Amino acid sequence: MSKKQYVVRLQKELQQLLKEPVPHVKAFPNPANILEWHYVITGPDDTPYRGGVYHGKLRFPPEYPMKPPSIMMLTPNGRFKPNTRLCLSMSDFHPETWNPLWSVGSILTGLLSFMLEDKITSGSIETTDLQKRQYARESMEANKRDPMFCKIFPDLIKEYEARQQAAASEPVSTATSTSTSTATGEGGQPTGGAVQQQQGPKKPTKNQRRKAKKKAQQQDPAKQAEAEAEAEAEAEEGV
C-alpha cells in the first residue's frame, strides 16, 4: 500500500477513537511518526491491575492494514516483560491470523482481554496478584520517568500530580482519644470537673468507731446498761 493509504487509514482510526473511546484505553500516534502509536491501558477495578496505568506502543508496518503491528508494553506490570514484543494473534508474531478489518481499538481491546487472563505466551511473565497490585501502585511513578509518556499523555501526568498534592495537603490526625468522664450536676448537666476514679471504703478512725458504738448503745437499752456497768467497774478498779 502507498504511504498515503496507511496514513489515511490511521488518521481515520484516530478520529474514531476520539469519537468513540474504548473502555480503559487511550491511544495516540507519535507526532513525529504516525506508524508508531502509544497507548495507555488503565487497570479495571475488579482486577489486580486496579489503579494501574500501563504505557505501551504499537509499531505499524507501511503495509498496514494488510499486515499487523508489533505490540509491546513499557510500564512494569507483572504480566508482560517491559519493552518486549508480545506474541499475540493480532500481533506481527502471527500474520497468518491477522484480519485487515481489525483496528487500533480492537487490537488494544484484545490486548487488555489477554492481559486479564493467565495464558502464557512469548513476552509474558508469571507473578502473584500481590506483585501485580504493587506494580499497579508504582505504575505512574515509572511513567513519569518516560519522556514519551509525558509528551503524549500530559493530562495523565497532571491528574496524577494533582492527586499527589491533594493527598499531601490532607491533615494527618495524630491526636489520641482519651476517655475522661465529666462530673454532672442536677439534670445531668456537666459541672466541668472530671469524675475521680471511685475508691473502696476508707477504714473508720478510732473516734468514728467510738461515736458509732455510742450511737448503737443509745439505740439498744441492753447494750447501754452493759456499757454503764463496764464504766462503774472501771471506776472501782481505779479507786
Catalytic residues: 87
Q: Report which secondary-structure segment, H or E, holds 183.
A: strand 182-184
**80 strand-pairing partners:** 124
Residue 163 is placed in which grid cell? 492527586
CA-nearest of 154, 166, 176, 30 to 14 is 30
Helices 206-219 & 221-238, crossing angle to 10 degrees?
120
**38 strand-pairing partners:** 28, 57
Say how far apart CA 97 and CA 89 lie, in whole Å.
Answer: 6
Q: Looking at residue 53, what DSSP letter applies?
A: E
* Burial degree of 35 (CB within 10 A; 0-12, 13-18, 19+): middle
Helices 104-115 & 3-19, crossing angle to 10 degrees?
60
